[in-house]
Amino acid sequence: MNQNIHKHFRISYYLLIVLAIFISSCSSRRVAVRPNPHAAGVADAMSHLRSKKLYSFITDWTGVRYRLGGLDKSGIDCSGFALLLQRDIYGNTLPRRSKDQAESIKEKKFAELKEGDLVFFSFGGREVDHVGVYLNDNYFVHASTTKGVIVDDLRIAAYQKTLVKAGSVKN
């Protein structure tokens, strides 16, 4: 009988060791988290804004959905967003449409852009049909048709191919 208890104890002891090894091997597994370089770039661009008022404006509007013709937090389009940002942050008056906004700027080379300058795109091919506001280090804020108000990187191929004009609002 003593031998049976001893054998049972030994089997339990081995099972306990196997269980401990199994549990420790599971807990040592690490999930690989890939850093998102775009998110880091956006955070860096936002942290380097000179205007704290601009920072607050962008964070307040980030995520607001896109709505053609929209001009409030229930939905906004790109030209409406640029119009409100220029008005509220810089005291500038802009036309309502991006095509007309493009005609109301003092054009600059892309390397000369400063915080608050406007960047224009032509996704349709012929005329300006999208606008954003330059921040710094190739980042800009705009009302994306798919993501709403977002900070994006001008180095993204889709923007590089369609970027047609940039500059500051004429006073």
Is residue 130 part of the annotated active site? The answer reads yes
Any residues with CB less than 8 A from the CB of 136 and at least 6 apart, and which?
45, 48, 49, 115
Any residues with CB less than 8 A from the CB of 14 and at least 6 apart, and which?
none
Q: Which of the pair, 23 or 114, is modelled with greater confidence?
A: 114
Amino acid at 153: D
Is residue 26 part of the annotated active site? The answer reads no
Any residues with CB less than 8 A from the CB of 53 and at least 6 apart, and which?
89
Q: Which of 8, 26, 48, 142 is catalytic?
A: 142
Q: pLDDT-based confidence at 12, cuts 50/70/90?
A: low
Q: Which of the pair, 165 or 39, is modelled with greater confidence?
A: 165
Is residue 48 part of the annotated active site? The answer reads no
How confident is the model over 66-87, as pLDDT tens digits?
Answer: 999 999 999 999 999 999 999 9
Which pLDDT does position 48 carry in this prediction?
Answer: 93
Does the pLDDT at position 22 exceed 50?
no
Which pLDDT does position 162 carry in this prediction?
Answer: 96
Residue with tokens 């224009």: 120
Written as six digits, the tokens of 148 are 């709403």
Residue 109 Ramachandran class (φ > 0 left, ψ -120 to 50 alpha, else beta): beta
